[in-house]
Structure 1
């Protein structure tokens, strides 16, 4: 098994008065920088992951998806440097971003570990890695792919719904066809101009959560000078050189 590591800093150089020109520009990101429209067309969720080891002979040759409850566990296998082992990666515990207290952060990892050791008793009892990340879902669970506006050379891929590899491939095909002037039967499905119903006020419980977040932001507004001082599962206004970066609700 061979591994390839990409080091973007190898291709970056400092310089002054440098400009880059391109005939076509693609924004493949969670929040395209030129428009706020996509922010309201997305739902933002935090999900949790652990990576532990399992004997190579015990590793399942499939991906497990369980969505019968709010935790929606998934399990997958990836290579390990030790040929006798495999990494077992478990994800789950998804919730709306900002809708838990910092004290509940570790609880999500505990639930993942419990699920692992109930279903994979030969797995290592202590994960080697644990992390969380934000997943961006579009409101109709389809990515936005295509021209930002008609007759422009600016293109968008966003709202990947946790399926970035799939939509990366689909997006590359749609955008390459649009750039070269070829017809693509999928472009209307993922049209960036569509307006799906917002998830923000989709349910009464979401309204309650939003009201709680606004109330908390008004009660306490912390300011920090260094992002490294920011504990997990928290947010602050960064104040540097008397300039505030980020705004409270």
Structure 2
């Protein structure tokens, strides 16, 4: 059912080497997505020696499963910040995100990156009167905070609408082509990029950070978690982050026009769907993104995909549905990302809690972190300070997320499965069973190979759940995800699921 993302289809591959020896650098960056590569660019330009350590391929993770939209609004809309922050903070959030989009545009021109970057307007609209007040509130928030936003006419939006607003001068691009192009442009003797190099352990001391990888030891003065969520951290940020999956589908039209712009629409009782078009050469596509849910907590992941396909069919003359993909994001308890040293005085930096705004916040993270390491003042450092403690702003979401995690721990403990179910396990299916007194994550590949692993996530030992759309094992507690072979795909887990045989678990 799943294909590669649309961005993967129109991107090549990178060929950076695997680390094969011990090295020493000023800054070690874990993760080769838009956050890691942006941070590496700015640090290298500031004169630091840098090593980027990517477990798979540059740009192939969350960056390649995004919407490709760039805007100064935020996923949860600016008005969501009103109950927690004053107008000055809201203005600075919009300004900081705008500066990140400007840097992307500058890089596209400077390095001549062929990534289909273009400026387009962004729209927020309501399809019914029930949700019209949400659009009104967003417009009022923008006016009060001094953020430019205008009333949109019905002629501008190719959907039924009762209320709409427009933000001009936003942007779109192919996120994977951008990151691959930037990585190729900045790689040098002082900025080394290593692929297929997984970091297994961090150790911080007064002099720096030591990272153990699959290819050697990396010693650095500073280290950066550019992995969407900090790797290996047991508590800390994961208590204030909610991990979510969201989906994208792309299709070709049989007839009609492809709309130009970014369209966020409220439907039903408040569900938000994002729509945009994309063209590459002679090929054109319409894209819909939405249907978020907590990681590992969907009864039927594939149903979320089909809801988006239905949405497109209801609003356009759809021909072929060409792509279906999923992406992951982490919602912060107080609505803003955590960017900077993980604690006061730490040499380890984090960049997390981006919601679905990772492309813009990833670049902004590079700007803030590189300035901090270089000792330069950045106007947005305090807004996103990673070590901030905001009990008043975070309390409700903090309790909500941690109650949810506790529920996931408890509900799977008494599980009883039937080993005989293995006989009926079809190709491409997965189930949790009990075998020889152990909880086992059992799945069959599309070719019929049986894979047996411990059902306990290696991060904090929640029982993983089968994702029937993406054929993965997803942890419902903190969002780690594993492929059928047990390898880590996403989240805070560093180690793969343990293999299982008749004698029990083994590494």
TM-score by length of 2: 0.41
Q: Is structure 2 residue 261 aligned with structure 1 residue 62?
A: yes
State the alpha-carbon separation in 2 of the partners of residues 77 and 217 from structure 1. 45
Q: Does the 8 Å contact 1:146/1:157 carry over to 2?
A: yes
Q: 2:325 aligns with which of 131, 147, 154?
A: 131
Q: Which moved more, 1:133-142 or 1:67-76?
A: 67-76
Q: Gapped runs of 5+ residues in structure 2? A: 1-9, 23-214, 417-433, 446-450, 453-465, 476-485, 487-496
2:27 aligned residue: none
2:411 aligned residue: 215
Q: Which moved more, 1:213-222 or 1:104-113?
A: 213-222
2:12 aligned residue: 5
Q: Is structure 2 residue 110 aligned with structure 1 residue 110?
A: no
State the alpha-carbon separation in 1 of the partners of residues 498 and 273 from structure 2. 38
Answer with 1 or 2: which has the greater Rg: 2
Q: CA deviation at 1:140?
A: 1.7
1:50 aligned residue: 249
State the alpha-carbon separation in 2 of the partners of residues 97 and 77 from structure 1. 27
Q: 2:344 aligns with which of 137, 141, 150?
A: 150
State the alpha-carbon separation in 1 of the partners of residues 412 and 216 from structure 2. 44
- 1:202 alignment partner, SS class: helix
Q: Deviations over 1:8-54 (max 9, x none)?
A: x5321445883323332211123313532111110111212111123
- 1:12 alignment partner, SS class: coil
Residues 1-249 of structure 1 correspond to what in structure 2 (within 5 A)?
5-7=12-14, 10-14=16-20, 18-33=216-231, 35=233, 36-54=235-253, 58-68=257-267, 69-80=269-280, 83=282, 85-101=283-299, 104-121=300-317, 123-124=318-319, 126-195=320-389, 196-197=394-395, 199=397, 201-202=399-400, 211=407, 214-220=410-416, 222-224=439-441, 229=451, 231-233=466-468, 235=474, 238-240=497-499, 242-243=504-505
Q: CA deviation at 1:226?
A: 7.2
Q: Deviations over 1:195-231 (max 9, x none)?
A: 333635339xx95896366223432463147795495
2:181 aligned residue: none
Q: Deviations over 1:60-115 (max 9, x none)?
A: 1101112454532111222345x0x31222111112223321xx322222211111
Number of corresponding residues:
234
Q: CA deviation at 1:243?
A: 3.9
Q: Gapped runs of 5+ residues in structure 1? A: none
Q: Which moved more, 1:173-182 or 1:68-77?
A: 68-77
2:177 aligned residue: none
Q: Which structure has more RCO (C-alpha within 8 Å, separation ≥ 6)?
A: 1
Q: Call closer, same or farther: CA 1:55–1:14 in 2, change over 3 Å.
A: farther
Q: CA deviation at 1:142?
A: 1.1
